[in-house]
Amino acid sequence: MAKRKRTSESLPEQAATQGLLPQKKYYRQRAHANPFSDHSLDYPLSPQDIDWAQYYPELAAGTGKVPEFADVGCGFGGLLIALAPLFPDTLLLGLEIRVQVSQYVQDRINALRVAATAESSSTDKPPHSFQNVSIVRANAMKFLPNYFGKHSLSALFFLFPDPHFKSRKHKARIISPTLLAEYAYVLRPGGIVYTITDVKDLHEWMKKHLTEFPLFEPVDEETLRSEGKGPIIDAVYHSTEEGRKVESNKGEKWLACFRRIQVSRS
């Protein structure tokens, strides 16, 4: 009798249900996606139409809690997983346009939740449950305000975004004059935009446009660390797959952070 072939589609599902971490080799996808292409996406008409309990079943049901940290283009979810135990009462959401990559992050979160549930029954000190982290497959360049209400976020992350090297492609960069108004809308006054890249030209581009926008002001790393945001900065530097690749290749990383300011009305 011939053995049933185990497909790559069945392995991730099995891993998630058993609490085993998924393996990236079963979720292969191109490094980047064209944000202007048509993608098969379901998106809410407004943030009020979202039932966040389906994403955070133990924390959002009946509480009115909404995500406060958003990782745009979250990749394989390294930042989300690193920050989740550090901010157990804060909802973190990743947005990723690529199908396989977003599925990997979802399976990774599911597996961590299953493992935490199993471990909690065998230890006096319950582990972090990862109930405060989730992901949506979304095109943030088009639909960010569909997910986040005005001033609902306290942190917005853009980590190692696609540099779009060619000049004619610069309009597709995630930090651009046409998008900064949306970021200012969803970020509350005092909230922080975190950017990091290993491409110096992109770093200068992001700094220039954020500095010139009237609702953001630069804030240096030392100031953020003095405000208790050191663990966030460390995760921004070291938690992502891209960041670790840069380190292994002995490359440079450029960090730029900006604070959402309150404009007084006369």
Annotated catalytic residue, options 42, 162, 198, 220: 162
139 is in an annotated binding site: yes
241 is in an annotated binding site: yes
62 is in an annotated binding site: no
Give the amino acid at 175: I
| Residue 162 is a catalytic residue | yes
21 is in an annotated binding site: no
146 is in an annotated binding site: no
63 is in an annotated binding site: no
What is the number of other CB atoms lying within 10 angstroms of the CB of residue 112? 22
140 is in an annotated binding site: yes
17 is in an annotated binding site: no
73 is in an annotated binding site: yes
Residues in the annotated binding site for S-adenosyl-L-methionine: 73, 96-97, 139-140, 159, 240-242
Residues in the annotated binding site: 73, 96-97, 139-140, 159, 240-242
- Would you name the residues annotated as active-site residues? 162
